[in-house]
Amino acid sequence: MSTITATSNISTPNTLSQAEAVPWLVWANVIASISIATGLYWDISWHETIGRDSFWTPAHLLIQFGAVLGAFGSAWVIMRTTFGGDTHALIKDDRRNSVNVLGFRAPLGAFIAAWGGGAMLTSAPFDNWWHEAYGLDVKIISPPHMLLALGIAGIMWGGAILAASYLNRADGEQRVKLQRIVMLLGGFIVIQTMTLKLEYTNRVLLHSSISYMVMGIGTLLLLEGLARVAGHRWARTIMTGIYSAFVLILMWVLPLFPAQPKLGPVYQDITHMVPLPFPLLLVVPAFFLDLLLPIFKDAPKWQQAVFGGVAFLAILIAVQWPFATFLMSSMARNRFFSTTDFPYFALPTSPTVRHVFVHWEQTPLEFWRNMGLGFLFSVISMWAGIYWGGWLKKVRR
């Protein structure tokens, strides 16, 4: 099954043959990531449109398919690498390029993806009990959902680290292909983290500093880390571009499907699937980082961190703040910007429906404290991303 070239020379650095295709487990994790991200988006729209769900909704099936594919694909590779014997050259080669986790052997990314699948599957009975004990979930951020999110991150990051380990051993065309896969997975990691942050990045909060503080947390850790390992000139732009394109396409396509609420109370006249909000303009600061960071490539890491962290959030605020004003205006009330579709449970008096901002922070002090924290988190994320990217570039197993 594996496509890694067998080698018998121990002293030779592990390299990936150009002739080989991308290992199937990498593809499996790519498919799992796309499936989960699409399922999550669809599920959220489902909860805003139809409301009632079951284990068997198509959105849930997509998420579950991703979890099973990621978990079982990785588990298979772990079992084969650990117990496959030495008779087969490919297995033998896999073992030579494996890490040891609790006595099992496989590439590191396979263990992370398997762990992610396990966490996702564990979250299912936990979440089910949570609903029975405390009622059907009314928010994204809850302990079982966080376990689910960690699991999804495991599958996506497992795929990215697996791809990175091959990328670091590849060259030529194979390297280009793996670069694209890392950036594709990076795009889906951006999608997942932004989904997790939806509660705090809704249109009505985009003139509160809490939104920008939340956007500052961790975004550069993943963008910078993956951009460094991908080694592509426009990696940050491409990854945030994938996020933007994914959200826009689903935002435009989903409303084409008719649907009606199956839960009350119903406060909106719903005739079709309700899309999620217009994507955040992450692509703009990402583009500027791609453009400007090479200037600082020889600067000390802390300087890169300060520049990158501050520039990213400052540019994001500079474009997102006025764009939020535009989204609230009558000019944005059309299918293109999709600001007129509301969840069935949105009260006519709610700020979203009235197209008005709410101010999370009650005092200017609170506002500037959150804003300051946002820049601090952004710089720390950038700093961590630089080291994270440095480590990812070293991963060979």
Partner 1 sequence: MALSTRFLFLVVLLLPLTGTAHVNSPDVYYDGYAGPYHLLVTLQPPAVVPGVAQVQIRSVTNDVSEIKILPLRMIGVGAKMAPLPDPAKRSANDPQLFTGSLWIMVRGSWKVQIQVTGQKGIAQLDVPLPAVSTSSQPMHAGLGILLSVLGLALAAGWIGIIVAATRDAALNAGERPAPAQTRRGRIGLALGTVIVITAFILGNQWWGSEASANDRLNYRLPNMKPSLAAGSLLRLHLENPNEAEPTRFRTEQPDRIRLDDLIPDHGHLMHLFIVRMPDMKAFWHLHPDQTQPGDFAVNLPIMPEGQYKLYADIVHHTGFPETQVATVNLPAVTGERLSGDDAGSFDMAPADKVAPLSDGYRMIWQRDDLFSKDLSSKDRPFKANQPYWFRFRIEDKDGKPVTDLEPYMGMAAHAVFLSTDGNTFAHVHPAGSVSMAAVNLAEGRSTKAGMESMEHTPSSAEISFPYGFPKPGDYRIFVQVKRAGKIETGEFVAKAE
The tokens for 147 are 């376990």
**Shortest separation between residue 238's beta carbon and partner 1, angstroms:** 25
Does residue 134 belong to the site contacting partner 1 (CB under 8 A)? yes
Number of residues that make up the chain: 397
Does residue 224 belong to the site contacting partner 1 (CB under 8 A)? no
Q: Which is nearer to partner 1, 75 or 332 (CB)?
A: 75
With CB under 8 A as the contact rule, the residue among 199, 301, 326, 329 that binds partner 1 is 199
What is the C-alpha to C-alpha distance for residues 350 and 348, in angstroms, rounded to an integer?
6
CB 327 within 8 A of CB 203: yes
- The stretch near partner 1 (CB under 8 A) out of 22-30, 139-147, 236-244, 326-334 is 139-147
Does residue 124 belong to the site contacting partner 1 (CB under 8 A)? yes
3-state secondary structure 82-133: HHCCCCCHHHHHHHHCCEEECCEEECHHHHHHHHHHHHHHHHHHHHHHHHHH
With CB under 8 A as the contact rule, the residue among 1, 18, 24, 52 that binds partner 1 is 52
Q: Which is nearer to partner 1, 120 or 284 (CB)?
A: 120
**Shortest separation between residue 327's beta carbon and partner 1, angstroms:** 15
**Shortest separation between residue 294's beta carbon and partner 1, angstroms:** 25
Fill in the DSSP letter of residue 50.
Answer: T
Sign, CA dihedral 210-212-215-216, equals: negative
**Shortest separation between residue 320's beta carbon and partner 1, angstroms:** 17
H-helix segments, the chain: 24-49, 58-83, 89-96, 108-134, 143-167, 172-196, 198-201, 209-216, 219-230, 235-253, 283-292, 301-328, 351-354, 364-394
**Shortest separation between residue 135's beta carbon and partner 1, angstroms:** 4
CB 230 within 8 A of CB 395: no
Does residue 171 belong to the site contacting partner 1 (CB under 8 A)? no
Binding to partner 1 (CB under 8 A) within 63-82 occurs at 63-64
Would you put residue 14 in left (φ > 0), alpha (ψ -120 to 50) or beta?
A: beta
Q: Which is nearer to partner 1, 234 or 366 (CB)?
A: 366
Does residue 93 belong to the site contacting partner 1 (CB under 8 A)? yes
What is the C-alpha to C-alpha distance for residues 124 and 214, in angstroms, rounded to an integer?
27
With CB under 8 A as the contact rule, the residue among 314, 346, 373, 380 that binds partner 1 is 346
Binding to partner 1 (CB under 8 A) within 278-337 occurs at none
Does residue 207 belong to the site contacting partner 1 (CB under 8 A)? no
Does residue 198 belong to the site contacting partner 1 (CB under 8 A)? yes
Does residue 2 belong to the site contacting partner 1 (CB under 8 A)? no
With CB under 8 A as the contact rule, the residue among 85, 86, 132, 297 that binds partner 1 is 132
- The stretch near partner 1 (CB under 8 A) out of 123-131, 315-323, 331-339, 379-387 is 123-131
In one-letter notation, the amino acid at residue 214 is V
